[in-house]
Amino acid sequence: MLRIGIVGGTGYTGAELLRLLARHPQALLTVITSRSEAGLPVAGMFPHLRGQLDLCFTEPDPGTLAECDLVFFATPNGTAMRAVPDLLERGVRVIDLAADFRLKDPALWEQWYGMPHACPELLSEAVYGLPELNRAAVRDARLIANPGCYPTAVTLGLLPLVASGAVDPSWLIADAKSGVSGAGRKAETGLLMAEMGESFKAYAVKGHRHAPEITQNLAQFAGAQVGLTFVPHLVPMIRGIEATLYARLVDPAIDLDSLFADRYAGEPFIDLMPGGHPDTRSVRGANVCRISVSRQESMPGVVVVQSVIDNLVKGAAGQAVQNMNLMFGFDETTGLEALALLP
Ligand SMILES: NC(=O)C1=CN([C@@H]2O[C@H](COP(=O)(O)OP(=O)(O)OC[C@H]3O[C@@H](n4cnc5c(N)ncnc54)[C@H](OP(=O)(O)O)[C@@H]3O)[C@@H](O)[C@H]2O)C=CC1
Ligand SMILES: CC(=O)N[C@@H](CCC(=O)OP(=O)(O)O)C(=O)O
């Protein structure tokens, strides 16, 4: 059994990791940290884990974490980078669900995250953990940068188009919407039901920190400068991301459904839905990205992709478990077989 630690076990992605790992046949949860709940039983805070997990939250402690085979960081940006060098040194492998190791350029990290990077020397080693893009490297990684939620939905939706040269990479638009759990479990006025319920708005229109992450992903395949307009929206639902993506086709005669089917053949967590309108409830709780690709008769030169994920599953904890399975040689789908919840 793999001994697993989770730093940040009281947040939404930490709780989702607990839900998935409590039933994973090869995973043994040994350390779950929380500074605010240290000493309290995990199942006391999360009753859905009663009878599944007999552990108490503990303060994050490097010595205890070093006894694990793998540590997940489900913590705010800028937390993992302070602890990771020591854990790697002690032979522990790490999956960071935050953004600390996602951007390869430390100056870009500082620009978007507002602090200098604590261990820039590890950025080149860290593997971006999107298996559909990077599966072989994930298997051998000591350190995984688990992708952001929006970047997962947007990258998977645009990748077949950009990588095949079917679209002009300098003109990409991503219009993305997220449920409120994407903002984490912190108390914030703008996230109150009375503030965001029955309402809907775009935010970070001038620039969101996920834009450089998506651009970095696509640039590896584009063969030319990537130009992306990315606008996120907050919608009054709890889970889910829907990204509607637009790009200009180089050859309007291309068979788009075949292009996507070829790119994602054999992918266990990509579901192509030709002619469909994937909705967020069809992925709630499931580790899947459901994609449809279309064009309008009046604008045959513009492709429209719809891509949906559960931000906490394929957009965070499920993807992290998928990466863990690859890193430790388990079947990639172990512990991730659950279907979506409907309704
Ligand atoms: N929510 C989402 O949909 C997604 C989130 N992410 C990323 O995953 C990370 C976690 O997100 P989320 O679960 O939503 O966040 P939450 O705010 O819900 O939870 C954060 C957790 O981290 C702990 N924590 C906070 N500060 C520290 C610290 N300095 N040292 C140790 N533990 C700390 C908190 O517990 P305590 O304070 O008790 O120690 C809490 O358990 C973030 O970086 C987020 O950007 C990525 C993809 C999707
Ligand atoms: C709805 C909402 O607020 N979403 C978050 C996405 C946060 C996230 O998961 O991003 P990182 O892992 O890169 O921090 C936001 O826009 O900040």
Atom of ligand 1 nearest to the CA of 16: 13
Residues 91 and 191 in one domain: no
Per-residue model confidence (pLDDT) at position 221? 95
Ligand nearest to the CA of 59: 1
Residues 35 and 73 in one domain: yes
Number of domains in the chain: 2
Q: Which of 125, 158, 183 is the last residue of a domain?
A: 125
Task: Catalogue the long-range contacts made by 225-228 (C-beta closer than 8 Å, 24 or more residues apart).
Answer: 225/169, 225/170, 226/162, 226/169, 226/170, 226/172, 227/169, 227/170, 227/171, 227/172, 228/172, 228/173, 228/174
pLDDT tens-digit series, residues 182-224: 999 999 999 999 999 999 999 999 999 999 999 999 999 998 8
Residues 171 and 219 in one domain: yes
Per-residue model confidence (pLDDT) at position 243? 98
Evaluate whether residue 80 is within a structural domain: yes
Evaluate whether residue 214 is within a structural domain: yes
Evaluate whether residue 186 is within a structural domain: yes
Cα–Cα distance, 24 to 19 (Å, whole number): 9
Type of residue found at 16: E
Which of 178, 191, 242 for mutating ligand 2's site (highest number of atoms within 8 Å of CB)? 178
Evaluate whether residue 82 is within a structural domain: yes
In this prediction, the answer to ipTM > 0.85 reads yes
What's the token pair of residue 142?
A: 């000591």
Atom of ligand 1 nearest to the CA of 178: 3
Which pLDDT band, with edges at 50, 70 and 90, does 47 fall under?
A: very high
Determine how β-strand 143-145 pairs with β-strand 299-309: unpaired
Evaluate whether residue 11 is within a structural domain: yes
Which of 75, 239, 289 for mutating ligand 1's site (highest number of atoms within 8 Å of CB)? 75
Ligand 2 centroid to Cα of residue 231, in Å, is 13
Residues 185 and 294 in one domain: yes
What Å distances lie between residue 329 and 80, 93, 294, CA to CA?
A: 24, 14, 37
pLDDT tens-digit series, residues 215-273: 999 999 998 899 999 999 999 999 999 999 999 999 999 999 999 999 999 999 999 99
Q: Which of 121, 125, 117, 124 is nearest to 99 (CA)?
A: 117
> Strands across the sheet with 70-73, in order?
27-33, 2-7, 70-73, 93-96, 143-145, 127-128
The residues facing 270 across adjacent strands are 289
Q: Which of 112, 14, 3 is nearest to 65 (CA)?
A: 3
Per-residue model confidence (pLDDT) at position 223? 83
Type of residue found at 307: S
Is the pLDDT assigned to residue 179 strictly greater than 90? yes
Residues 57 and 169 in one domain: no
Residues above pLDDT 70, as percent of the chain: 100
> Strands across the sheet with 228-234, in order?
201-202, 228-234, 167-178, 241-249, 299-309, 289-296, 270-272
Q: Whose CA is nearest to atom 28 of ligand 1?
A: 79
Per-residue model confidence (pLDDT) at position 266? 98
**CATH number, domain at 262?**
3.30.360.10
Ligand 1 contact, 182 CB (< 6 A):
yes
What's the token pair of residue 29?
A: 């949860």
Q: Whose CA is nearest to atom 3 of ligand 2?
A: 183
Overall average pLDDT of the 40-55 stretch: 96
What Å distances lie between residue 226 and 192, 219, 220, 232, 337, CA to CA?
A: 36, 6, 10, 18, 35
Q: Select which of 68, 119, 149, 289 is catalytic.
A: 149
Backbone CA torsion sign across 254, 257, 258, 260: positive
What Å distances lie between residue 69 and 97, 127, 140, CA to CA?
A: 17, 18, 14
Residues 114 and 158 in one domain: no
Domain that holds residue 87: 2-125
Ligand 1 centroid to Cα of residue 204, in Å, is 20
Which pLDDT band, with edges at 50, 70 and 90, does 20 fall under?
A: very high
Evaluate whether residue 229 is within a structural domain: yes
In our burial notation (b when 16+ CB lie closer than 10 A, e otherwise), range 62-77 reads eeebbebbbbbbbbeb
Residues 171 and 306 in one domain: yes
Per-residue model confidence (pLDDT) at position 337? 96
The residues facing 96 across adjacent strands are 73, 145
Residues 217 and 297 in one domain: yes
What Å distances lie between residue 303 and 159, 231, 255, CA to CA?
A: 13, 18, 11
Residues 161 and 224 in one domain: yes
- Rg of the chain (C-alpha set): 20
Ligand 1 centroid to Cα of residue 74, in Å, is 5
Residues 289 and 242 in one domain: yes
**CATH number, domain at 41?**
3.40.50.720
Overall average pLDDT of the 136-141 stretch: 98
Ligand 1 centroid to Cα of residue 274, in Å, is 36
Cα–Cα distance, 23 to 49 (Å, whole number): 10
Ligand 2 centroid to Cα of residue 71, in Å, is 21
Element of type H or E holding 202: strand 201-202
Q: Which of 82, 108, 125 is the last residue of a domain?
A: 125
Is the pLDDT assigned to residue 77 strictly greater than 90? yes
Ligand 1 contact, 3 CB (< 6 A):
no
pLDDT tens-digit series, residues 270-306: 999 999 999 999 999 999 999 999 999 999 999 999 9
Residues 24 and 79 in one domain: yes
Evaluate whether residue 323 is within a structural domain: no
Residues above pLDDT 90, as percent of the chain: 99
Ligand nearest to the CA of 109: 2
Q: Whose CA is nearest to atom 3 of ligand 1?
A: 182
Q: Which of 110, 125, 140 is the last residue of a domain?
A: 125
Ligand nearest to the CA of 210: 2
- DSSP H helices, the chain, are 12-21, 42-45, 62-65, 80-89, 106-113, 131-140, 149-163, 193-196, 210-222, 256-263, 318-327
Evaluate whether residue 322 is within a structural domain: no
289 as an active site residue: the answer is no
Residues 158 and 303 in one domain: yes
